[in-house]
Chain A
Amino acid sequence: MRRETLLNLVIALALLAVPLAAQALDEPFAITLATKVAILALAGVGLNIALGLGGMVSLGHAAFFGIGGYMMAVLATPVQAYEPLMTWPIELAGTKSMPLIWLGAVVAGAVGALAIGALSLRTSGVYFIMITLAFGQMLYYFAISWPAYGGEDGIAIYVRNGFPGLNTLDPLHFFALAYAVLLAALWLAHRLGGSPFGLALAGARQAPARVAALGIRPYRLKLAAFVLSGAVTALAGALYADLNRFVSPSMLSWHTSGEIMVLVILGGVGRLFGPVAGAALFILLEHFLGGISEYWQLFLGLILLGIVLFARGGLIGTLAGREVPHD
């Protein structure tokens, strides 16, 4: 077994062990934290498809995270208010069922990523970073000033949405759901890396001219990866909204984009389990530094700097060595 595979297994089991131990010790908040790790990791897995596989540095993934979150509110609030979602052109009721909400979030995230990606991918490099950032801010300001879903106040869902056969209000059940979705996304990302599509994408990243010579248009490949990436991140957004039972424009702010990116890089770009390790480390830092000082973000900044400058390859890279992950 390769060292990185072993490490991945350890990380996956550790993330599973924390809430189980917390349940035994009657510390339900630790389960909430572990759920947050799983959901942020899922968002990171989404970003990693664009970042690691496609080489697209998107600083606007909060847009898709927020779209997923708002999709939850759009679908679930009509049920809460006993009103139909729409009456024209067809009569459509809202839903409190998670699988349907997830479907809605994935579709909305994919459509959003298609629109933003189609424009942004006309450029590359540093242009791409700034443009994705700017589109993210555009949605942020739109969400703040558009009154239908609470504007800056956001909107609360009083009861967490349901999943057939589970009691989602039980922290452990909800964790299990988030964890299962995370594993499924990891499996998808793993298969993607080894698929013809993934190989062509890696080719488009490393040697675009050569791929173009084979008759493949890098633009379409990258756009497809970007859409997939946005859809996975939107799914994470829907779960995050359900974790908090609340959606607000802060999910769309550029700090959220920065944080998702930070946790991918903390764990290791392009590493399958990088986002999981990064999310866990990020939450631990946030939790423990916050206990030490009011100015904890200063220390978080210094630690991040140290990691970028001296521990390249992130946590996984440091622990498992510099091998290429997707072989």
Chain B
Amino acid sequence: MNATKTLLAAAAALVTAGAALAEPIKVGMITTLSGGGASLGIDTRDGFMLAVQQAANPDLTVVIEDDQRKPDVAVQLADKLIQSEKVDVLTGIVWSNLAMAVVPAATAQGKFYLSTNAAPSALAGKGCNPNYFSVSYQNDNLHEAAGAYAATAGITKAFIMAPNYPAGKDSLTGFKRFYEGEVVGEVYTKLGQTDYAGEIAQIRASGADGVFIFLPGGMGISFVKQYADSGVGLPLIGPAFSFDQSIIQAMGDSAVGVLNGANWSPDLDNAANAAFVQAFSAEYGRLPSVYASYGYDTANLLLSAMGTADISDPDAFRAALKAADFDSVRGDFAFGPSNHPVQDLYVREVVRDGDILTNRIVGTAMEDRGNAYEGECKM
């Protein structure tokens, strides 16, 4: 249950000259390290720990636990981290359903939660909390980016598809929010479905001129391969989750040319990002994914707050987090009223670069986008 690896950031208790006597902070990371979906959690952890190692701040301790992608395990780990390990900050959860199980209880106990990925609408709107910060996005953002860009990509009659579960419904809602064309087909598939022949036949018969899909993980791999083989050939667009570094290798050339909405890309042009991509590749021997970038940003945000405030003064620490005074790999980064990012959203295209597949930015979909729920947040 708990791949407990207490990693002291102070790898070699470096004596940093002139460092203030800051209060130590203990971070509990709950993420998915085993079973299906482990690749996302591993990238989150590796991105986070890369920043922690680079900072070598002796006051920062990280305890890492594996939630096996099970909500009940995640809840028990949160209890354990809070009760036994006495952590100050929780982070790392990949999946929205696990976040919904853990975050409200953790923030109610006065702990900080920094989201490295999942950011369900409930926590951005009515359920917002001053101690909850989403460093990644609000769940709808990447779908909104795809919707806003679809017309530019020549999609005016879209066939849209997602699994039949809450995140899937949010996804189609998010896509439609800024999409100006017509929806000619809307299909909910079974969660975990691996054969899409039936849906592809419907796409072919629908008269659509483009397809939007949100099919995370193995579902997306299956769909893209089958779609490419079907010869339907209409432009395909989706959120970055379905076309990210961790899975496009498994899609192969079927994925080349697919558009995806994102808030980060390995080729995003800023100094912090160039350094991050270079350091991550050198350390782990693979290109970082969006999840790794969120983990890296989250750790740097935390480190920046540690530099200006003590955790024993929650109000000051909260203000220091909210200031977001760190070099994000996304360039400009600020928190909006509900502690979710206000950021530029892009559209990327999957390209082949020698032996590997990667993403490259083709355009900006939205600038300084917050989220649709922050109006409901009262804090």
Contact = CB atoms under 8 A, between A and B. Distances in A.
Interface stretch (B7-15, B65-73, B334-342): B65-73
Given A244-B75, A286-B1, A290-B66, A32 B83 contact: yes
Interface string B116-134: 0000100000000000000
B191 A294 contact: no
B347 to A, nearest CB: 27
Given A29-B79, A154-B97, A156-B100, A147 B72 contact: no
Interface residues of A, number: 33
B71 A154 contact: yes
Contacts of B35: 297
Contacts of B54: none
Contacts of B169: 147
Contacts of B79: 29, 32
Interface string A1-40: 0000000000000000000000000011110100010000
A297 B34 contact: yes
A287 B84 CA distance: 14
Interface in B24-41: 33-35
A248 B66 contact: no
A145 B165 contact: yes
A246 B83 CA distance: 18
B46 to A, nearest CB: 13
A88 interface: no
Interface string A224-246: 00000000000000001000111
B108 interface: yes
B72 A251 contact: yes
B234 interface: no
Given A30-B84, A152-B165, 7 more contacts: A32-B80, A145-B164, A145-B188, A153-B120, A244-B76, A286-B1, A294-B66
A244 B104 contact: no
Contacts of A32: 76, 79-80, 83
A27 B108 CA distance: 21
A213 B84 CA distance: 60
A141 B190 contact: yes
B151 interface: no
A78 interface: no
B83 A147 contact: no
B105 interface: yes
Nearest to B81: A29
B94 to A, nearest CB: 14
B2 interface: yes
Interface in A245-295: 245-246, 248, 250-251, 286-287, 290-291, 293-295
B218 to A, nearest CB: 15
Interface of A: 27-30, 32, 36, 141, 144-145, 147, 150-154, 156, 158, 240, 244-246, 248, 250-251, 286-287, 290-291, 293-297
Contacts of B184: none
Interface in B90-143: 96-97, 100-101, 104-105, 108, 120
Contacts of A286: 1
B164 A144 contact: yes
Contacts of B80: 29, 32
Contacts of A245: 75, 105
A28 B71 contact: no
The bracket for how many chain B residues form the interface is 20 to 34
Contacts of B34: 294-297
A245 B72 CA distance: 9
Nearest to A253: B70
A293 B3 contact: yes
B83 A248 contact: no
Contacts of B33: 294
Nearest to A248: B71
Given A28-B84, A32-B83, A248 B191 contact: no
Contacts of A244: 71-72, 75-76, 101
B258 interface: no
A145 B3 contact: no
Given A32-B80, A147-B169, A156 B72 contact: no
- Of A27, A245, A250, most buried by chain B (CB within 10 Å of CB) is A250
B85 to A, nearest CB: 9
B101 to A, nearest CB: 4
25 contacts: A27-B84, A29-B79, A32-B80, A32-B83, A141-B190, A144-B191, A147-B166, A151-B166, A152-B97, A153-B97, A153-B100, A154-B100, A156-B101, A158-B104, A245-B105, A246-B71, A248-B97, A250-B72, A286-B1, A290-B66, A291-B4, A294-B34, A295-B34, A296-B3, A297-B34
Contacts of B71: 154, 244, 246, 248, 250
Nearest to B38: A294
A141 B165 CA distance: 10
Contacts of A291: 2-4
A57 to B, nearest CB: 25
- Of B1, B33, B108, B167, most buried by chain A (CB within 10 Å of CB) is B1
Interface string B156-175: 00000000111101000000
A27 B79 CA distance: 11
Contacts of B76: 32, 36, 244
A153 B118 CA distance: 12
